[in-house]
């Protein structure tokens, strides 16, 4: 019995030191990068609120990682993340028995560049980063506009998580 307890304790100790870590917390960035500039994304769409929401959510996501200082400036920073919103689309997904949309898909296409300014090296780049998010809507027509704003907000948050994960984890 004592042998089994010892083996269990050893197994637990081995598991505790196995290098397990929470997903989404990795980083391959050079150690000299402490301050990241994330200026407002450029906008090639008709959605005026889109660049502000996407930029803010990307900044918030980097801040939530707890390791980097974030600036909206492109000067006096160690690295620079620049984005251009190339397109925004909102398409009906599923419909009800009367043919009204009950879900929509938001599609955002961007060009993103993340550059190490100290070494003048692009660390991550995607000229056609395509992001899709599905969401349900209420059946009330009056709520359509408000739901699109909510869909943009939800999509912006998921978009930011995706971008920051791609940059920090090198996927």
Mean pLDDT calculated for residue range 133-155: 72
- Roughly how many angstroms between the first and final C-alpha of the chain, as a whole number? 46
Q: Which helix (H) or strand (E) holds 53?
A: helix 50-64
Q: β-strand 69-71 against 121-136: which pairing, if any?
A: unpaired
- Does the pLDDT value for residue 6 go beyond 90? no
pTM attached to this predicted model: 0.77
Q: Does the pLDDT of residue 151 top 60, yes or no?
A: yes
How high is the pLDDT of residue 1? Answer: 60
Confidence of residue 136 (pLDDT cuts 50, 70, 90): confident
Residue 162 above 70 pLDDT? yes
- pLDDT, one tens digit per residue, over 76-113 is 999 999 999 999 998 877 777 777 767 788 999 999 99
The domains found in the chain, sorted by start residue, are: 30-169 (3.30.160.150)
Can you tell me the distance from the alpha carbon of 33 to that of 77, in angstroms, rounded to the nearest whole number? Answer: 8
Q: Name the more confident of 7 and 2.
A: 2
For 40-72, write each residue's pLDDT tens digit. 999 999 999 999 999 999 999 999 988 899 999
Q: Kindly list the distances between the CA atom of residue 142 and the CA atoms of 50, 89, 96, 145, 146, in Å, as whole numbers in the listed order.
A: 22, 20, 17, 7, 8
Cα separation, 59 vs 70, whole angstroms: 7
- Rounded distance, CA 146 to CA 23, Å? 33
Give the pLDDT confidence score for residue 23 in this predicted structure. Answer: 41
Q: Are 81 and 61 in contact (CB under 8 A)?
A: no
Query: What is the SS3 assignment for 122?
Result: strand
User: Is the model's pLDDT at 129 over the cut of 80?
Assistant: yes
């Amino acid at each position: 019995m004592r042998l089994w307890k010892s083996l269990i304790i050893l197994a637990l100790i081995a598991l505790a030191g196995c290098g397990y870590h929470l997903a989404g917390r990795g980083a391959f960035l050079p150690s000299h990068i402490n301050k990241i500039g994330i200026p407002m994304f450029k906008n090639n769409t008709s959605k005026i609120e889109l660049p502000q929401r996407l930029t803010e959510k990307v900044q918030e996501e980097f801040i939530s990682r707890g390791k980097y200082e974030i600036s909206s400036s492109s000067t006096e920073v160690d690295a620079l993340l620049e984005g251009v919103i190339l397109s925004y689309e909102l398409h009906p997904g599923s419909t009800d028995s009367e043919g009204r949309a009950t879900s929509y898909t938001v599609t955002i296409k961007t060009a993103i560049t993340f550059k190490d300014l100290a070494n003048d090296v692009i660390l991550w780049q995607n000229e056609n980063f395509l992001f899709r998010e599905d969401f349900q809507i209420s059946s009330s027509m009056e709520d359509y506009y408000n739901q699109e704003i909510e869909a943009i907000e939800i999509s912006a948050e998921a978009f930011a998580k995706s971008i920051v994960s791609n940059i920090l984890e090198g996927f």
